[in-house]
Amino acid sequence: MAAGHKPLSDLLDEMALKILMIEPGDLSIVGELLDLTEKLLPGQAAADTPMVIQRMAAAFKGALEKFIMGELADSAENYDFLGQCITEMQESARKEGRPGEKILAQFCDNMKKIGFSLQPSDLLEATDAVSIGMGAAEDKALDEKASAVASPQIDSPQVQAPAAGGTGQEALPDFLQDTDLLAGFIEEAFEHLESIEVNVLELEQSPDDQDIINNIFRPFHTIKGVSGFLNLKTINRLAHATENLLDDVRNGKRAMDSAVIDIVLTVGDALKSMVENIKDVLQNGPANYKDTDISSFLVNITQLQEGGNGAPPVEAVAAPVPDLPPEVFEPEEREEVEVLASEEAEAEAPPEPTSARVAQGVVSPRAPQQPASPAARPAADSGQKKIGASIKVDVEKLDALVNAVGELVIMQSLVRQNKLVSRIADAKLTKDFSQLTRITSELQRTAMSMRMVPIKQTFDKMIRLVRDLSKKSGKKVDLIMEGADTEIDRNMVESIYDPLVHMMRNSVDHGISPSADREKCGKSETGTVFLRAYQKGGSMMIEIEDDGEGLNTQKIRKKAIERGLVSESDNLSDFELNNLIFLPGFSTADKITDVSGRGVGMDVVKKAVEKLRGKVDVQSQPGKGSLFTIRLPLTLAIIDGIIVRVGTERYIIPTIAIQESMRPDRTNYSTVHGRGENLLVRGELVPIIRLYEIFGVESTNTDPCEAIVVVVENEGRRRALMVDELLGKEEVVIKNLGGLDVPGVAGGTILGDGRVGLILDLAGVIANKAD
Amino acid sequence: MEAANVAQNLGQGAELAGKYLTFSLGNEGYGVGILSVREIIGVMEITAVPHTPPYIRGVINLRGKVIPVLDLRLKFSMNHKEYDERTCIIVVEVQGQTAPVQVGMVVDSVSEVLNIAAGEIEPPPSLGSSSETENILGMAKAKGEVKILLDVDKVVGEGLLQQLAS
C-alpha cells in the first residue's frame, strides 16, 4: 500500500461515522463527507481500491452534491439512505471488491430512493478503463460537478443568511491588523461560547437561578468588549444586543423564559459560526470572509426587550429562591473573578489565558446534574469554589516531559539492576535508592496527570445533543451525568466524542420509546439516560444507560442466523447475543432491531473504541433498558502488555486483546489440507498464527503443542498466536519506530534491560497472515 | 542526465567543500557532511524488525528514542562483515516525510573529520548505471586517498522510502 493513502476500510469507517453525525440543517458535515468521498474517486483512490467501490463512490459523491446544492431534501430519511449506501460500500470492501449482485442492487435501490437512478451494471462496467469507462454513474457525477461549479459553491454552510441590507459591510482589513490578538480572541471566544451553551441548558432546569444568569451574561460581556476592541463590528453588535437583553433579565425587567433561552442559544450558534469564519480568514486569507446578516437577530432581541412575545416580568426572578440563599452562590472568589472578567473587557484587551481559565472554571459549574433535588445543589456548589491558577502549556513540551520522565524511570531501574551496583551491600545506598524510586514514580504520576483533562467538556456537549434530540422526537428525556470530573488523556477526548454521540443518539432515538408507550408499560413519562464516567482498575469506564425498551434479543438472534453469524443450533447467552450488534455486517439496512442508527452499524463504534485500545459491550434487559459500557485505557502513551519470547526476540502483546494463553493439547489441534492450523478453544475453532513464521525469526519450538499459544481477539476475530514463552506483564511506553512503518508492528518500547521490544499490532498480524 | 549531473557537480564543487566525517567500508573510504551527523556510538544490540529489507538491521534505543539502523555494507551490496569492536553506528539526521528523523548507519570504522576544499572534489565517476552513483555527491582526493562523499539524504531517505513502499 502506497504511503499517504489510508486503508480503504478506515476511510469507509470514517465516512460511516460522519454520516451519523449529520443533522438535517447542518451541511458542514456533508462537506466533510464529500472530502472523504473524493479520496475514493477514480484517479485519486489508492491503487488497490477496487474499481467497483470507486464507481460507487463516484455515484455517492453525485448524491452528496445534490444535497449541498439543495436539490435533495435535507431530511433525516434521505441521510438514512445515504448511510445504507455507505454500509453497502463497506460490505463490498469486505468482500474485496467483489460484492454480490444483491449488494449492488441494494446500493442502486437506495440511490434511487434519493432520486439518483443507477443500474447495477453501471457499477460493474469493464474494469480497466479508469477515465472513460466510468459508466453512467460517473457521468452523472461529472454533470453534478459542472452544475456545482456554475452556481456559487456553498462550502461552509453556517448559519448565514444572505447578506441583506442594514448590516453595514465591514471593511476587511480592519480586524486583521493584529493577528496575534485575534488568534487569542478566537480561542477565548470558543471557550466562552461553550460555557454559555452549558449554562443556558442548565438554566432550563432551574430558570430562576440568578447565578446561572450571571454566568451567561458575563461571557457575552467579555465577547462584546474584546470584539469591539478588535473591530469585529458584527460580532460586537450581536453580543452587545444580547447582553442588553440579558441585563434586563438580570435586573428583573423580564423573565428568563423559553423565548429568551432560544434566542440566546441561536445567537450563541451564530456567534460561533462567525468566530469560525474569522478563524478561517486568519488561516486562509481575507477572501474567505463572510458578512453575516444579524438584522433578524437584532429585531428578535428588540422585540423581546419590548415584551414582544415574552411573558411579563416574573417576581420569582427577583425574589431569592428559598432553598438557595444568594450568599451560598456569591463566594468571595466569585466577586473577584467577576471584577477580573469585566476589567478585561473594560480594558479592551484580550483576556490573558490565566485569568480567563479561572473565569472559565467558575462560569461553567457543573457537578452531577440533579435538577430534581435542590438539596443536592449546595453540595455540588462546594465543588465550584475550588479555583486554582492554571497555565497553558504547549503540548509538545508536555510530551517531551512525559518522554523524559519515562526514560528516567527506565534508566533508574537499569542502574539498580547493574550487576556491580546490586552487589554493593550498603544500607545507605539501599535507602537512597528507594527514596529515588519514590521520587521518580511521583514525578511520573504527576507528568502523566498533566496530560489528563476532565471528560466534562465532552459530556457537556451531550446535554445539547439530548435536548435537541428530545425536542425533535417529542420524547421527554432527562440526561443525568455522573463523574464528569473523571480525567481522561487529552489525546483521547476528541476520538471518543463521535462514538459517544452515536451511542447517545441510539439511546434516545431507539432505546427510549415515546411517552405514551412508556406510560402504557407503567414507566414514568420522562425517559432517563444516564451518562457516567469513572475509573476502575487502571481503566476509564464510560457508561450509557437508558431506561427504555432494551434490545430485542430474539430479533438479534434471528438476524444473526439470517446473516450466517451464528447457527440455529448455537446456544448463546443473551449477553453474547446482544453483543452481536457490534459485529461488522450486522448493520441494519432493513432496520429490524431497535438499535439501528442511520443504517450504519454499531461496529463503527466498536472500531473507534478499539482504535483507542478500548472495549465496548452492552447489557440489556427487555423492557427495562440497556447499558453500554466503554472501557478505555487511562492514557494512550502507555500500553499494558504481555511480553512474549519468540526465539531470541521479544514482542509485546496488548493485554486488552488477550483472552487466554495455554499449552495446547494435541487432541485439540487440527489442520486443514495440512496447512491451515486450528486449535479447538472452548468449543470454537481458532486459527493458529505462528509468530516466528510471519516475523521471519528463528523459534525454539516449531510444534504448537510444545509451545505456548496466546488467544487474542481483534475486531471480532480470534486467533491463537504461537510463542515460545511468556516473560511477564508490564506497562510500557509506546514509541514510534523512528520512521519505520511495518505491518503487524504498532511501535516499539524500551524494555527493562534497555533494549527495544516491538509492540504487536494485532489487526496487522491477522491481516498479514490472511495475505 | 549524466552530463547535467556532471555540470551540476562541477558548479557545486564550491558548495560541497567543507568538513566531512570519514569512515571506511572494506578498503574504501567514505565521507558524510559533518552537519548531518548527530553522534557516533559503538555498535549495540539491534532489535530486528520484520518485513524490512535486509540492509535495515532493525531499531536501537538511543537514550530513550527508538531509531532505525541500516547497514551501509548491505545497502551498497557489499559483503556482510561480522561486527567487531571497531564497528560503529553513525547517527545522522535527515528530513523525513514530516519531521527530521534520526537514523543510524553501521560502518566498519570511523576515521576522522577532514576539511575538504572545493578543488579536491571531483564529480562521481560513471559506473554504467545512474542508480549506483546517485547516492554520491562527489569524489574527494584528500591526503592521497580517495573518499567517496555520500548524499546522506539519498542513502538514508530512500532506504526508508523503499522500505515503506514494499
Amino acid (1-letter code) at residue A32 = E
Q: What is the mean pLDDT of chain A?
A: 73
Q: Which of A3, A743, A755 sits opposite B165 (nearest CB)?
A: A3
| CB-CB under 8 Å, B56 with A740 | yes
Distance from CA of B145 to the nearest CA of A (A): 35
- At B127, the pLDDT band (50, 70, 90 cuts) reads low
- At A142, the pLDDT band (50, 70, 90 cuts) reads very low
A714 compared with A153, residue with greater pLDDT? A714
User: How confident is the model at residue A710, as a pLDDT?
Assistant: 94
Q: Which residue reads 435538577 in cell numbers? A: A371
**CA pair distance A450, A767, nearest whole angstrom:** 36
User: How confident is the model at residue A364, as a pLDDT?
Assistant: 36
User: How confident is the model at residue B136, as a pLDDT?
Assistant: 85
Assess whether pLDDT exceeds 70 at residue B150: yes
| Helix residue ranges per DSSP H, A364-489 | 376-384, 395-417, 419-423, 427-450, 456-473
B47 contacts on A by Cβ (under 8 Å) = 649, 748, 755-758
Which of B61, B62, B95, B156 to mutate to test binding with chain A, by most A CBs within 10 Å of its CB?
B61
Q: Which residue reads 546522506 in cell numbers? A: B152
Report DSSP letters for A209-230, one per residue: -HHHHHHHHHHHHHHHHHHHHT
Lowest mean pLDDT among A2-11, A217-226, A417-426, A556-565: A2-11
Is residue A139 within 8 Å of residue A64, measured between CB atoms? Answer: no
Is residue A675 within 8 Å of residue A689, measured between CB atoms? Answer: no
| CB-CB under 8 Å, A738 with B59 | yes
Distance from CA of B134 to the nearest CA of A (A): 22
Assess whether pLDDT exceeds 50 at residue A153: no
Bridge partners of A650, per DSSP, are A645
**CA pair distance A463, A480, nearest whole angstrom:** 9
By residue count, chain B amounts to: 166
Assess whether pLDDT exceeds 60 at residue A160: no
Is residue A409 within 8 Å of residue A401, measured between CB atoms? Answer: no
Assess whether pLDDT exceeds 60 at residue A134: no
B92 to chain A, any CB pair closer than 8 A? The answer is no
Q: Which residue reads 551527523 in cell numbers? A: B37
Lowest mean pLDDT among A153-157, A471-475, B82-86: A153-157
Q: Which residue reads 430519511 in cell numbers? A: A77
Assigned C-alpha cell, A243: 447582553
| CB-CB under 8 Å, B165 with A403 | no
B10 to chain A, any CB pair closer than 8 A? The answer is no
Torsion angle in degrees (nearest 10) through CA of A630, A635, A638, A643: -10
| CB-CB under 8 Å, A649 with B48 | yes
A652 contacts on B by Cβ (under 8 Å) = none
Average pLDDT over residues A540-546: 90
B52 to chain A, any CB pair closer than 8 A? The answer is yes
Amino acid (1-letter code) at residue A142 = L
Pick the closest to residue B60 from A746, A737, A761, A696 (CA basis): A737
Distance from CA of B24 to the nearest CA of A (A): 26
Q: What is the mean pLDDT of chain B?
A: 81
First to last CA, chain A: 13
| CB-CB under 8 Å, A407 with B64 | yes
User: How confident is the model at residue A370, as a pLDDT?
Assistant: 38
| CB-CB under 8 Å, B68 with A739 | yes
- Count CA atoms closer than 13 A to A363's CA, side-chain side: 29
User: Please, what's the b/e burial string for A28-47 (b: 16 or more CB within 10 A of its CB; e: otherwise)?
Assistant: bbbbebbebbebbbbeebbe
Lowest mean pLDDT among A56-65, A70-79, A232-241: A70-79
Interfacial residues of A (vs B; Cβ cutoff 8 Å): 2-3, 403-404, 406-407, 410, 649, 694-697, 735-745, 747-750, 754-758, 768
- Please classify residue A280 by burial: count the beta carbons closer than 10 Å to its beta carbon, then call 0-12 exposed, 13-18 middle and 19+ buried: middle
Which of A264-273, A330-339, A585-594, B40-49 has maximum average pLDDT?
B40-49
Amino acid (1-letter code) at residue A709 = V
Average pLDDT over residues A630-636: 81
- At A399, the pLDDT band (50, 70, 90 cuts) reads confident
Average pLDDT over residues A507-513: 79
Assess whether pLDDT exceeds 60 at residue A265: yes
Complete domains list, chain A, with CATH:
8-150 (no CATH), 175-363 (1.20.120.160), 395-450 (1.10.287), 470-633 (3.30.565.10), 638-770 (2.40.50.180)
Assess whether pLDDT exceeds 80 at residue A683: yes
Residue pLDDT, tens place only, A268-312: 888 888 888 888 877 777 777 777 777 788 888 888 777 654 444
User: How confident is the model at residue B87, as a pLDDT?
Assistant: 93
Q: Could you report the predicted ipTM of this complex, rounded to two decimals?
A: 0.78
Report DSSP letters for A92-121, one per residue: HHHTTT---HHHHHHHHHHHHHTT----HH
**CA pair distance B148, A309, nearest whole angstrom:** 86
User: How confident is the model at residue A645, as a pLDDT?
Assistant: 92
Assigned C-alpha cell, A507: 439511546
Which of A193-202, A562-571, A756-765, B124-133 has maximum average pLDDT?
A756-765
Segment (H or E) for A645: strand A638-646
User: How confident is the model at residue B5, as a pLDDT?
Assistant: 52
**CA pair distance A225, A239, nearest whole angstrom:** 9
Is residue A621 within 8 Å of residue A610, measured between CB atoms? Answer: no
- Measure the CA angle with vertex A480, ends A473 and A310; round to 5°: 60
Task: Give residue limits of the domains in chain B.
Answer: 2-165
B42 contacts on A by Cβ (under 8 Å) = none
Q: What fold characterizes domain B2-165?
A: OB fold (Dihydrolipoamide Acetyltransferase, E2P) (2.40.50)
| CB-CB under 8 Å, A697 with B50 | yes
- At A653, the pLDDT band (50, 70, 90 cuts) reads very high
Q: What is the pTM of this model?
A: 0.52
Q: Which of A2, A743, A756 sits opposite B59 (nearest CB)?
A: A756
Q: How far is CA A721 from the centre of its chain?
A: 32
Q: pLDDT exceeding 90 applies to what percent of chain A?
A: 7
A593 compared with A211, residue with greater pLDDT? A211
CA separation (Å) from A124 to A49, A112, A541?
14, 17, 46
User: How confident is the model at residue B88, as a pLDDT?
Assistant: 93
**CA pair distance A721, A694, nearest whole angstrom:** 11
Assigned C-alpha cell, A608: 473507534
B157 contacts on A by Cβ (under 8 Å) = none
User: How confident is the model at residue B34, as a pLDDT?
Assistant: 93
**CA pair distance B142, B158, nearest whole angstrom:** 28
Q: Which of A410, A649, A738 sits opposite B66 (nearest CB)?
A: A738
User: How confident is the model at residue A666, as a pLDDT?
Assistant: 87
| CB-CB under 8 Å, B56 with A738 | no
Q: How far is CA A168 from the centre of its chain?
A: 39
**CA pair distance A123, A126, nearest whole angstrom:** 9
